[in-house]
Structure 1
Amino acid sequence: MSLAWFDLAMVTEGICQEVKRIDTQELKGRVFDIIVVGGGITGAAVAHEAALRGRSVALFEMNDFGSATSAATSKLIHGGLRYLKNGEFGLVRESLRERRILGDIAPNLVEPLRFLIPRYSRRFRKNVPLRLGMWLYDQLSFDKSRVAEPKNRLPRRALFSAAQTLESAPALDSFGLQYAVSYFDYANVNPDRMTMAFLKTACEHGALVANYAKVHSLVRDGNRIVGVQVTDRLTQATYACYGKWIVNCAGPWSDKILNTNQAATARQPVRSEGVHLITSKFRFQDAVAMETDHGDHLMFLPWRGLTIVGPTDKPYTGDPDNYAPTAASVQELIDKVNALLPAEPVGGAFSRSDILFHYGGLRPLVGLDTQQDSYSASRRYEITDYSRQGMPGLICVEGGKYTTSRGLAAQVLDLLMRQSGWPSASQDSSRYVLSPCRVGPYQQFIDDLMTGYESGFQPETISYYARNYGVEAKMILDKAREHPEGREMLTQDGEIMAEVDYVLEHELVYTLDDLLFRRTGIGWMGKPSDEVFRKIAKKLGQRLNWSLADQQRSIVDCLEKRYTLP
């Protein structure tokens, strides 16, 4: 039985457009129920869960929201098929349940994506376990069609013939290809917009948030942790914020928070590096997942008319502050592509010149005591109450994956509600639609947008904003109507200049990196033209009172950081 839209908590008034940064005057004399350290998807989900349950919450992120691990995903909401190999049935089932929930509460931000796993005669012995695993994955996702939005209901697994497989993925090697196993997960085309949707919903319910606000130490009262000391990285001012509970959601930096002022002895975390490449050299109608000769996997993911290739998955032992993808990681992916795809169908071997963009990030792992094989490591999470280590008031969240962040947050709040004796939740986050995502039946929503804005806008532009901004799409399109220069097309799939104006006005943008990669998706499609760079830097500079030299410096910094291949 499928849910209907009236089964979900929908709010039609008071949509939260604007994210306001914490004003330190708001902190004077105030003790929050919860302080969240870290503004990636985990921290955003914890703040969202706390605010929905009626708790006062403040969140601090040392860089930009969602700028580290959360920005380096494969852009999927998935159950984790490969974790079945490790016998992690509970993790897979939890992930599949959370996948379904996100299909309900963020219906425009996810969409079904067919995966193909091609099977070759030379790997015959591995075909039987795969088909058994796919059967089990299907059984564990028994509720995949129980979503309110019809477009997000997922079909069952199927088999593709060799001919069907090559039609969908002509770049594959045809020699020895027998068939492909087909199944569905969700694409999350723009994870940064989903992170922002969680933050906006938290703010709608009273949460206070700040990016570029670094927690540099914990505040004690006796043994208890009662607050944090914060440095505002925009003004260099320092201030204290007090709370009944501090929840450390700093991901790969969690040990650094724990070690401030020797608050606790943190175990050395195990971090895994994941690097992806974006290319236009080959295109796939469906996602393709292939096993390499080394026993790991490589994915080819259709995305915005391009293809994402990745990820790498190996331990990282350095300081997370100094992390950047290396030439070795890029070459590793190039070599894997060339080992799996024949050169002839795609016009020659894959090379560095075919890479439009690259990105990478660190994942915190739990359950590993040494820097062993991170590929086979669990993606489960741990919630640690430091009361047991003589540090009451401090909770640390480690591990996990993007897909399970809401469920993780719910468990954190369950723990704090029990510890504090707070009354039961006022809202169920598994049924509460995120603020920008209250679109109702999606087909009707997009049909109405197409009808209302067909004059003056390309269909791909309307579709892009419907998917990525939900109800805020109208505000961006209206802004472009009022100012025709806002209709300038910036990407092949429909982004326009009015989006830049909108996020500058409403979403705490302080760098070109924030603007191009975490509010809009302009930068992900490859290097913008010099003219577009100048126009966008000028708009940001006008808002931040930058000189022309400041604008040019920001362009140079962005080019060096983002578009220089290691």
Structure 2
Amino acid sequence: MYATQERQAKLDRLASTHFDLLVIGGGITGAGVALDAASRGLNVALIERNDFASGTSSKSTKLIHGGLRYLKNLEIGLVREVGQERAVVHKLAPHLVRPEKMLLPLVEGGSLGKLTTSMALWVYDFLADVEGDDKRVMLTKEETREMEPLLRDDILTGGGFYAEYRTDDARLTIENIKTAEQHGALAANYVEATDFEYDEDHQISAVRCRDRFSDRELTINCDHVISSAGPWVDDLRKIDKSMNNKRLFLSKGVHIVVARERLPLAHACYFDVDDGRMLFAIPRLRCTYIGTTDTPYKGDPNAVPVHLEDVEYLLRATNQIFPTVDLKVEDVESSWAGVRPLIFEEGKKAGEMSRKDEIFESDSGLLSIAGGKLTGYRKMAERVVDRLGKQLHDEGEDLEKNTTRAIILTGGPFKDFEEVLTYEKTIAGMLEAVSLAPDRAGYLVANYGKQSPEIIELAAGRSESTDVGRLAAAEAEWCIKNELAVYPLDWVERRSGRLYFDMPSIAPILDDVLNVFADAYGYTEADRERERRRVTEAIDWVSTFSSADNN
């Protein structure tokens, strides 16, 4: 029951404290805002109606990248900013934001020719201040085929090789929230904003909330509110009665996951599709994932389905460029679908709408930020907190300058990626010392960085019947205590990533993980079976597909 008691104590603090700023939305933007504002000396609270990163921020392509394709739309400023941000975010968490060389095969009839690609990659490097070995290299057909033998030979004309970064978007969000808490912020998941209260000048003075875990209702008093609620930004603007001619357009993006042996790529690839789109295929752990689609979405953002048509589109495109693999629907182990909250632009298709962020300010003082990309989260946060600074200045208070480009995220510090790789060997030795498999070192360091020894120490004191169960139980216990994991699915999906990238590992350790949550939250047998059912339903949701016509 200790976790339930700690959660209630946190809710008591939320209800009894007057905050300078309340952030609504616990995705990557809200996490960045909370850290930015707290590090500038504000007393900050953050609430999220579901789990942290449960929306768009766990459903991206999981790349910290400059957006090469946005050059085609001449979004030079966006490419410059996010391109430069790649290196900044990598330095904040090298264990979590890892270098990933990208192969761009050029094909006959593709959207990019050799000269265009060479110029685009040169501009990309220039805008992003890329240096040294990370600068783009243009390849002949033979060199491209040698780098990736699975590529279709008869249409291949050459290639480009350039640098990006790969991440775990959910973990990046969670580490930002934990770092914000280190700077004094107070964060709570499963707390939903239901209404606003206003003072005599019709400025927001408090937010009414409901804890979805205990059904407790509470009011959080605050001077200012920033909404970073992603696809739900307009819902909050409607509650505030501040909708105007600006509104969101939701675009669905689908990714699928296959076993690495079914698509054994030597490098991550960014390739043409015959409809003019481009897709990524990215090796990760025991899997390769493929995406993404870009189609209008008008359904529930809380449950975005992957339809059979989405899967078939991605498989068909992949088989066209890698014809010998012959992927089928049965090969798809897992999938995810998220919605991009874009700023609506009349007359444009989903793929043509800008990914640039925008801030809306209502007469009540509510600041809402929407749009943007995962890579640009830190600059988005800086912009909206700077806008808050203007409100504070009008009230006679000046805000400190942003310093987040120098704030190392929890899990660090690491000097560079080479130190991360060296540290993995240290963790492998620590695992062996307590009779656990050393091959889990890479996974632990990628997820938790220098927090890994705390998990190993917990595992050493546990008595589950299997080694994998012992380590998984320790991981789950640590995430309950340090990362506000409330339900087993929080850990299975967002803390560990197993739902997407290691689904076969879930069944053997599920009982052990359920036991840990039962101890922490005082489960009855009915609670325990409900949570088991939620995990198995989530597995079905990401691995079975029906036609859109049947929904």
Q: Is residue 271 of structure 2 the alignment partner of residue 290 of structure 1?
A: yes
- Counterpart of 1:356 (choices 327, 333, 339) is 333
Residue 404 of structure 1 corresponds to 376
What SS is found at the alignment partner of 1:436? coil
**Where does residue 193 of structure 1 map in the other structure?**
171
Partner in structure 1 of residue 548 of structure 2: none
Could you tell me how far 1:556 is from its partner in structure 2? 2.4
Counterpart-to-counterpart distance in 2, 1:68 and 1:125: 33
Normalising by structure 2, report the TM-score: 0.89
Structure 1 pair 559/338, CA: closer, same or farther in 2 (3 Å)?
Answer: same
For the pair 1:108 / 2:84, whether they are aligned, the reply is no
Aligned positions of 1:18-417 closer than 5 A: 23-28=10-15, 30-123=17-110, 126-142=113-129, 144-145=130-131, 155-188=134-167, 190-222=168-200, 223-260=202-239, 262-265=241-244, 267-280=246-259, 281-342=262-323, 345-346=324-325, 349-369=326-346, 372-386=348-362, 390-391=363-364, 393-417=365-389
2: CA distance between counterparts of 1:500 and 1:275? 28
Q: 1:240 to 1:126 in 2, by over 3 A?
A: same
Instruction: Report if aligned partners of 1:20, 1:208 keep a CA contact under 8 Å in 2.
Output: no
Partner SS, residue 375 of structure 1: helix
For 1:184 and 1:207, how far apart are their aligned partners in 2?
Answer: 35
Given that residues 294 and 351 in structure 2 are in contact (C-alpha distance below 8 angstroms), is that contact kept between their aligned partners in structure 1? yes
Given that residues 15 and 221 in structure 2 are in contact (C-alpha distance below 8 angstroms), is that contact kept between their aligned partners in structure 1? no
Gaps of 5+ in 1: 1-18, 146-152
Q: Give the stretch that moved more between structures: 133-142 or 534-543.
A: 534-543
- 1:96-120 deviation line (CA, Å, top 9, x unaligned): 1211110111121111111111113
Equivalent residues of 1:278, 1:309 under 8 A apart: yes
5 Å matches for 1:7-18?
none
Residue 548 of structure 2 corresponds to residue 548 of structure 1? no
Structure 1 window deviating more from structure 2 (80-89 vs 163-172): it is: 163-172
Matches of 1:402 and 1:366, distance apart in 2 = 16
* Structure 2: stretches of 5+ with no match in the other structure: 1-5, 546-551
Question: Which residue is equivalent to 1:15?
Answer: none
- The alignment yields a C-alpha RMSD, in angstroms, of 2.4
- More displaced, 520-529 or 310-319? 520-529
The one-character-per-residue Cα deviations of 1:82-140 (angstroms, maximum 9, x if unpaired) are: 00001111000100121111011112111111111111345497332122111111111
1:23: how far off? 2.7
Corresponding residue number in structure 1 for 2:446:
467
CA distance in 1, matches of 2:118, 2:284: 27
Say if 1:32 and 1:295 are closer, same or farther in 2 by CA, change over 3 A.
same
1:240 offset after TM fit, Å? 1.1
Question: In the TM superposition, what whole-angstrom CA distance separates every residue of 1:458-482 from its partner, at most 9, and x where no partner exists?
Answer: 4432222222211201111222223
CA gap of 1:159–1:193, structure 2 versus 1, over 3 A, is same
| In structure 1, C-alpha distance between the alignment counterparts of 2:233 and 2:153, rounded to whole Å | 46
Equivalences for residues 427-446 of structure 1 within 5 A = 428-440=403-415, 442-443=419-420, 445-446=423-424
For residue 526 of structure 1, the aligned residue among 497, 503, 506 is 503
User: Aligned equivalents of 1:123 and 1:279: distance in 2?
Assistant: 25
Contact 1:21–1:209 (Cα < 8 Å) also in 2? no
| 8 A contact 1:21–1:208 mirrored in 2 | no
Q: CA deviation at 1:252?
A: 0.4
Mapped partners of 2:424, 2:292: distance in 1: 33
Question: Which residue identity lines up with residue 212 of structure 1 in the other structure?
Answer: Y
Q: Structure 1 CA distance, aligned partners of 2:45 and 2:332? A: 40
Provide the secondary structure at the position in 1 that maps to 2:214: coil
Q: Secondary structure at the match of 1:25?
A: helix
- What letter corresponds to residue 354 of structure 2 in structure 1? S
Shift of 1:290: 0.9
Which residue of the partner structure matches residue 559 of structure 1?
536
1:512 aligns with 2:488: yes
Percent pairwise identity: 29
> Which region of structure 1 is more displaced relative to structure 2, 172-181 or 277-286?
172-181
Give a deviation string over 1:120-165, Cα, whole Å, max 9, x none. Answer: 34549733212211111111122x45xxxxxxx8611113343443
How far is the alpha carbon of 1:382 from its aligned partner?
A: 0.3
Please state how far the C-alpha of 1:282 moved relative to its aligned partner.
0.7
Work out the CA distance in 2 between the residues paired with 1:531 and 1:133.
Answer: 48
CA-CA distance at 1:546 after TM superposition: 2.0
Count, aligned residues: 527
Give 2:269's aligned amino acid.
Answer: V
User: Matches of 2:199 and 2:243 in 1, distance apart?
Assistant: 15
Output one character per residue of 1:463-514: Cα deviation in whole Å (capped at 9) or x when no partner.
2222221120111122222336497237xxx974421222133222222320
Look up the equivalent residue of 2:376 and give its one-letter code.
T
